[in-house]
Amino acid sequence: MAANPMSQFDVYRIGPEIKVGAFDISFTNASLFMIISTVSILLVFNLGSKRNSVLPNKMQLLAELSYTFVAKMISDTAGSKAKPYFAFIFSLFMFVLFCNMFGMIPYTFTVTSHIIVTFILASFIFIGVTIIGFIKHGFGYLKLFVPSGVPAVLLPLIVVIEIISYLSRPISLSVRLFANMMAGHTMMKVFGGFVISLGLVGGWLPLSFSVALTGLEILVAFLQAYVFAILTCIYLNDALNLHH
Amino acid sequence: MIKKIYFQSIFFSFLFFKEAFAAESGGMPQLNPEFWISQIFWLILTFGIMYAVLSKFILPKISNNLESRKSQILENIEAAEKQREDSEAKLKEYDEIILKRKSEAKTMFNQTREKALKDIMAKKEVLDQQIDDEINKAEKEIEVLRVSAPDKINKIAIETSSELLEKLIGSGVNSSSISAIVDDLSKRNGDKYYGN
């Protein structure tokens, strides 16, 4: 198991098989880490919002800094109209961030390294943003595909490109997060395997690489959560404030 | 089942590198659809619950906390500003009072000084008058004494010289001749003794 760098992504059943109709919804290690992440988020932010002192304690400071960080991110990219979606983007950012970070602990499972998870999140965002766009602007939302100031000759081509780029949003969004997480964890596993195979003499080089990679991966874990959230904000901005 | 295969085929086309891993490790576990439904189910469940709890209970509390802190800080700043203004006004008042009292003290001092000077001048005048009187009186007495002094001296001189002559000669001498001599002498030396 340890030799295979992909085996860390294996999903296996914990407990009995649960079937609803034809669907297998058994509790797996992925479910376990989803629950761990969400419970940690709720715990941290519940502790951080419990007491309201003028001089915040550490937990309160953490919660309030996260709140203002996400609030600023949303207002900077999507403006004040995006306020009703703050809770969703906050949850999304925190969920992805906590899943990524829990994945950095050895012997844990990274929920976001599974394409199905990121794809469901991304397609939910895509569908939601499209619905919001059509509710806000009606069929005028289709103007998104017709950029202003483009020569009429190029218009058919541009519209096709815009539509393709719009439709590829959920795929790019989900694959970006999934591929980053998977590649990073695979690399760490591979270097970890080198440490073992090269032994006490030659193992130090891959070990130092592994240490550096851990730092890099923690950065990537934060960055990808941030990118995921900020792209959601940008898509939301397109739907709320039609600029084209 | 058809849905699963459909999804899988999409990802196969995007993830061309799948083949590279497939060769040595039997593929990516991510592309094994066995637990996809389970993952979707648990993702929706956990994320949904988290979203509901965060948006209903926790985030409003945090925003409330932030708002109340902001307003409290603003209030405190306002109160501090007000107190500062108050203290400035008080300081001004204090300065004014000090200034007023200072000028009052100055005028009082001046008044007292003038009064004292006047008193001193009056007393000095009285004293000067008294001193002048005393001096005049003394001068008069001296004048009287000076006028009467030569006569007395002459008298004494006559008596003394007559007695001396009596002792020397043994017989009385005409007192009128002696007095003539004494008068003559005293007139000659009078200037020397009395300076006038």
Mutation site, B6, B36, B49, interface A, largest A CB count within 10 A: B36
Closest CA to A114 of A33, A13, A40, A38: A33
Q: Assign B3 a pLDDT band (cuts: 50, 70, 90).
A: low
Amino acid at A77: T
Residue with tokens 């874990």: A221
Are A95 and B50 within 8 A, CB to CB?
yes
Report chain A residues whose CB lies below 8 A from the CB of B27.
6
Nearest to A30 among B21, B39, B65 (CB): B39
pLDDT at B105: 95
Residue A152, pLDDT > 70, answer yes
Residue A41, pLDDT > 60, answer yes
For A90, counting Cβ atoms within 10 Å of its Cβ (0-12 exposed, 13-18 middle, 19+ buried), the class is buried
Residue A126, pLDDT > 60, answer yes
pLDDT at A1: 40
Query: What is this model's ipTM?
Result: 0.90
Question: What secondary structure does DSSP assign to A50-65, as a single string?
Answer: H---SS--HHHHHHHH
pLDDT at A20: 83
B188 within domain boundaries? yes
A2 within domain boundaries? no
> What's the whole-number average pLDDT of chain A?
90
B149 within domain boundaries? yes
pLDDT at B17: 43
Report chain B residues whose CB lies below 8 A from the CB of A35.
42, 46
Query: The domain containing residue B160 runs over which residues?
Result: 137-194
In chain B, which among 22-81 make CB contacts under 8 A with chain A?
A: 25, 27-32, 34-44, 46-47, 49-51, 53-55, 57-59, 61-66, 68-69, 72-73
Residue B1, pLDDT > 90, answer no
Q: Assign A197 a pLDDT band (cuts: 50, 70, 90).
A: confident
A60 within domain boundaries? yes
Residue B28, pLDDT > 90, answer no
pLDDT at B196: 46
pLDDT at B179: 77
pLDDT at A67: 94
- DSSP annotation of A186 reads H
- How close A171 gets to chain B, by Cα (Å)? 9
Q: Assign A86 a pLDDT band (cuts: 50, 70, 90).
A: very high
Q: Assign B108 a pLDDT band (cuts: 50, 70, 90).
A: very high
Mutation site, B2, B3, B38, B72, interface A, largest A CB count within 10 A: B38
B30 within domain boundaries? no
Query: The domain containing residue A169 runs over which residues?
Result: 7-240
- How close B79 gets to chain A, by Cα (Å)? 16
- The domain tally of chain A equals 1
pLDDT at B16: 44
**Tokens, residue A131:** 């619905």
The arithmetic mean of pLDDT across residues B58-85, rounded, is 93
A189 within domain boundaries? yes
Give the residue from chain B lying closest to A178, CA to CA. Answer: B30
Specify the higher pLDDT residue, B149 or A33: A33
Are A120 and B59 within 8 A, CB to CB?
no
For A142, counting Cβ atoms within 10 Å of its Cβ (0-12 exposed, 13-18 middle, 19+ buried), the class is middle
Specify the higher pLDDT residue, A227 or B11: A227
Q: What is the three-class DSSP state of A45? A: helix
Please enumerate in sequence order all residues whose Cβ is within 8 A of that of A230, keeping only pairs 6 or more positions apart, or say none: A73, A77
Residue B13, pLDDT > 60, answer no
Are A49 and B41 within 8 A, CB to CB?
no
Mutation site, B4, B9, B39, B72, interface A, largest A CB count within 10 A: B39
Q: Assign B178 a pLDDT band (cuts: 50, 70, 90).
A: confident
* First-to-final CA distance of chain B: 163
Residue A175, pLDDT > 90, answer yes
Are B25 and A6 within 8 A, CB to CB?
yes
Residue A200, pLDDT > 90, answer no
Are A178 and B30 within 8 A, CB to CB?
yes
Give the residue from chain B lying closest to A19, CA to CA. Answer: B38
pLDDT, tens digit (0-9, with 9 covering 90-100), for A93-107: 999 999 999 999 988
The arithmetic mean of pLDDT across residues B49-53, rounded, is 95
**Alpha carbon of residue B53 to chain centroid:** 65
Question: What secondary structure does DSSP assign to A70-112, as a single string?
Answer: HHHHHHHHH-GGGGGGHHHHHHHHHHHHHHHHHHTSTT---GG
Are B40 and A178 within 8 A, CB to CB?
no
Report chain A residues whose CB lies below 8 A from the CB of B44.
120
- The domain tally of chain B equals 1
Specify the higher pLDDT residue, B57 or B160: B57
Nearest to A64 among B28, B49, B62 (CB): B62
